[in-house]
Structure 1
Amino acid sequence: MAKTKQAQKAKMHVKKGDTIQVISGTDKGKIGEIIRAIPQTSQVIVQGVNVKTKHVKPQQEGESGQIVTFEAPIHSSNVMLYSQKEEVASRISYTFTDDGRKVRMLKKTGEIID
């Protein structure tokens, strides 16, 4: 009998609500906000990035079909956190604040995100 593989929850460097810049692919250079994070597949859905169109057939008689646009997921490794103050994309490091909280910090600017 074959065992089913269970999806591991991957630790991602980005979260919902983060401002990011796409660093590879057809949408390279675009800046947007993360709408949804999918940790099971390590993917994110970004506002205005990787927009796809889908032709939807009419469901009932007399109804007309339509063309729906939506954002498809992209892999989290293809995005980098973006600082709007300095207007630069940067890797992150984890550091502790004075009160002992673990926070994410941009390496280039030293800006704390969380």
Structure 2
Amino acid sequence: MATNKMHVRKNDMVMITTGKDRGKTGKVQRVFPEKGRLIVENLNVVKRHTRPRAGQGEGGIVEKEAAIQAANVMLVCPGCAKPSRTGKRLLDDGSKARFCKKCNEIVDK
């Protein structure tokens, strides 16, 4: 099975463009390219009711981050600090890097 390419990576700052958390920014914790989803730190929080188990201790209501569609987030450019689309560019040393389409600055370090 081929892996899908994602426009965001782990530790990128992103802004959510749709849903209840629209306009909020956060850091990407985890990426699931095969599903096209990602988890953003402290955003899209859901409540999960858990049962008491022998190994886990007592049950109750646990809050955790849920995955969000990658199409519903935009990368926040570190150069211009605005959410923007990205493109790929071939650098002089032969490697590829993402760049901001607003300020034309390289996003990858």
Q: Give the TM-score normalised by the residue count of structure 1.
A: 0.84
Residues 1:39 and 2:33 aligned together: yes
- Please give the alpha-carbon distance, in whole angstroms, between the structure 2 residues aligned to 1:14 and 1:103: 12
Q: How does 1:1-114 map to 2 (within 5 A)?
A: 8-60=2-54, 64-114=58-108
Give CA deviations for 1:53-112 in whole Å, capped at 9, x if unaligned: 11212225xx64322111000000001000244221000011122212110001012221
Equivalent residues of 2:87, 2:99 under 8 A apart: yes
- Cα root mean square deviation, aligned: 1.6
Moved over 6 A (4+): none
Unaligned runs of 5+ in 1: 1-6
Give % identity.
39
- Please give the alpha-carbon distance, in whole angstroms, between the structure 2 residues aligned to 1:85 and 1:106: 8
The secondary structure found in structure 2 opposite 1:113 is coil
Structure with greater Cα Rg: 1
- Please give the alpha-carbon distance, in whole angstroms, between the structure 2 residues aligned to 1:8 and 1:28: 31
